[in-house]
Amino acid sequence: MALVLGIATVLWGLGKLLGTPHRQRWVMIGLLFVAVLLIQLTLPAENPLRVATGGSAAPWLMLAGAVVIILVYRQGLWWLKVKAETRQTEEAPAPKRSFSDVELDRYARHIVLREVGGPGQKAMKEARVLVIGAGGLGAPALQYLAAAGVGTIGVIDHDVVDNANLQRQVIHNDATIGTPKVFSAQAAMLAQNPHITVQPYNRRLTEDIAQDLFAEYDIVLDGTDNFDTRYLTNAAAVATGKPLVSGALAQWEGQLSVFDPANDAPCYRCVFPDAPGPGMAPSCAEAGVIGPLPGVIGAMMAVETVKLITGAGDPLRGQMLIYDALYAEVRKIGVQRRSNCPECGG
């Protein structure tokens, strides 16, 4: 038997040396086995050739049986593996690309930024941002958030577009006068970027809906122009743990900050505990406002939102930026939480 195994080893080695295909080498081994089996079955027991090749057919038949069992077992494992992989492929959802080729080209200037990159742009696509007010501050913020690729943008406002708005609320146009601002803004945003989702809420923000609405979003922007809504927005943002990007305007001056008590920054009421008395903070309609100023502050609000989403830079938590357009001055002051704040203190 050792002689036959030696011959088989030599045949395999020569085949490998000569570059004979794997399959043909197994054919030669098979032919050797058949020859040995015929010798054992046809020659007399005392024949020297039969004796040299084992003397009996039994060991070779047992060997053949073992080889067959191994081959059947391996074939069964292979079949089960193929079946499992096929089922897994059929059940698995088709791989979904994060961005289409059009989107990759659109956001290329973001993706090459080290602080944003592909992960940051993907985070923006998955982000949900709510903007309170589609007026002076909301208009540029909405436009830049849409252009930047924020995936879902909600906008709530109960007002309609008025001719007097068009001097500064650049998301609207003359043809949309009389149209609810949220629908005018929605049309402009989708015309700018059809790859996003816009959720318009044509109504006033009220206490009974604020917290439920805020809970559906990641970040809230406050672009309102009255203290009642600002305090309501702040209370709902604190209650739901959402960062609040807040801006305000007055004639030639604007200010903005990120109020985020969940990250140890003050809330709006920490900085402005009480609303000013009558006549102390006149509205834009009463005191006027230079047209491009809301664009400057609203765009800054959009930048702060992008920073919050992507984790880039240092957002204005615990800081307030004040911009004086008349004298082209910018200053930044620190603001702190108050332990006795009725909204976020304690």
Question: Residue 344 region, left (φ>0) first, then alpha (ψ -120 to 50), else beta?
Answer: alpha
User: Residue 86's pLDDT is what?
Assistant: 67
User: Is-contact 194 214, C-beta < 8 A?
Assistant: no
Radius of gyration for the chain, computed over Cα atoms and rounded to the nearest angstrom: 38
Q: How confident is the model at residue 20, as a pLDDT?
A: 66
pLDDT for residue 97: 60
Q: What pLDDT digit, counting tens, does each position of 212-244 carry? A: 999 999 999 999 989 999 999 999 999 999 999
pLDDT at 310: 97
The tokens of 99 are what? 């961005």
pLDDT value, residue 3: 65
Residue 285 structure tokens: 């309609």
β partners of residue 254: 249, 323
Torsion of CA 319, 325, 329, 332, to 10 degrees: 0
Spatial neighbors of 323 by CB under 8 A, at least 6 apart, are 253, 254, 255, 293, 296, 297, 300, 329, 330
> For position 121, what pLDDT does the model report?
96
Please report the pLDDT score of residue 4 as a whole number: 60
Distances in Å between the Cα of 78 and the Cα atoms of 37, 72, 75, 123, 343 are: 30, 10, 5, 41, 65
Strand partners, 259: 244
Q: Which residue in 253, 228, 233, 252 sits closest to 243, CA to CA?
A: 233
pLDDT score recorded for residue 12: 59
From first to last of its 346 residues, the chain has per-residue pLDDT tens of 666 666 767 665 676 676 666 667 666 767 766 776 677 677 777 777 666 766 676 776 777 777 778 777 777 877 777 777 667 656 655 445 688 999 999 999 999 999 999 999 999 999 999 999 999 999 999 999 999 999 999 999 999 999 999 999 999 999 999 999 999 999 999 999 999 999 999 999 999 999 999 999 999 999 998 999 999 999 999 999 999 999 999 999 999 999 999 999 999 999 999 888 776 677 777 789 999 999 999 999 999 999 999 999 999 999 999 999 999 999 999 999 999 999 998 6
Q: What pLDDT score does 304 carry?
A: 98
Angle among Cα 36, 37, 38 to the nearest 5 degrees reads 90
CA distance 323 to 1: 97
- Pure H helices in the chain: 2-17, 22-42, 48-52, 58-91, 101-106, 108-111, 117-126, 138-148, 181-192, 207-214, 227-240, 268-271, 284-287, 292-310
Whole-number pLDDT of residue 42: 74
Q: How do 253-259 and 244-250 pair as beta strands?
A: antiparallel
- Tokens representing 51 are 């004796």
Architecture of domain 115-334: 3-Layer(aba) Sandwich (3.40)
- For the chain, give every domain's residue range: 2-89, 115-334
pLDDT of residue 329: 96
CB atoms within 10 A of CB 210: 21
Q: The whole model's pTM is what? A: 0.72
